[in-house]
Amino acid sequence: MVMEAKTTSEAKLREAGLRPTRQRVALASLLYAKGDRHLTVEELHEEALDAGINVSLATVYNTLHQFTEARMIRVLAVEGSRTYFDTNISDHHHFFVEGRNEVLDIPQNNISIHNLPAPPEGMEISHVDVVIRLREKTQG
């Protein structure tokens, strides 16, 4: 299984034009092992260490940015101090819990959007993000 993941990740990396170094293969394997997910740099770093992969935080930053440019993953449109990456590149959406800075996947995925505007000249739509911002119920 592990070998399989490694092989798949290597192929993905080559396709993306990235040299399949140990660290990149390891990080890609972690990312894709668990299906669609969103995580921060620190989370992936910790996972890597837990898995016995000695990789520096800076490398995780660099690698995730390389993966993003290679369109293997993408950045989530949530404000806040930390950057969230998402392994699901297709259009899908998120809850964002205000105050807690927490991102949740939206379970059902049949949200549809109508009357999307045309992008300005020379630009193309990379992705449409719907973020449903939540707050704890109050009687305020």
Partner DNA sequence: CTGTGTGCAAACTCTTTGCATAAGT
Partner DNA sequence: ACTTATGCAAAGAGTTTGCACACAG
Site string for DNA, 72-111 (x = CB under 7 A): ---------xxx----------------------------
In the range 58-87, which residues lie near a second copy by CB under 8 A?
75-79, 83-84
N- to C-terminal Cα separation, the chain:
52
Residue 63 CB partners (closer than 8 Å, separation 6+): 23, 24, 27
Q: Measured from the CB atom, is 3 or 116 closer to a second copy?
A: 116
Spatial CA neighbour of 130 closest among 83, 98, 88, 95: 95
Residue 95 contacts which entry, a second copy, DNA, none (Cβ below 5-8 A, type-dependent):
a second copy
Smallest separation, CB 118 to DNA (Å) = 30
Write down how long the chain is: 140
Q: Examine residue 139 and tell whether it contacts a second copy (CB under 8 A).
A: no
Structure tokens at 44: 């992936």
Q: At what angle do helices 41-50 and 57-69 cross, to 10 degrees?
A: 120
User: In this structure, what are the phi and psi dihedrals at residue 10, rounded to the nearest 5 degrees?
Assistant: -60, -45
58 binds, among a second copy, DNA, none (CB under 5 to 8 A by kind): DNA
Q: Please give the residue ranges that form the binding site for DNA (CB under 7 A).
A: 18-24, 40-42, 54-59, 61-63, 65, 81-83
Q: Please give the residue ranges that form the binding site for a second copy (CB under 8 A).
A: 75-79, 83-84, 95-98, 104, 106-108, 110-117, 119-120, 122-137
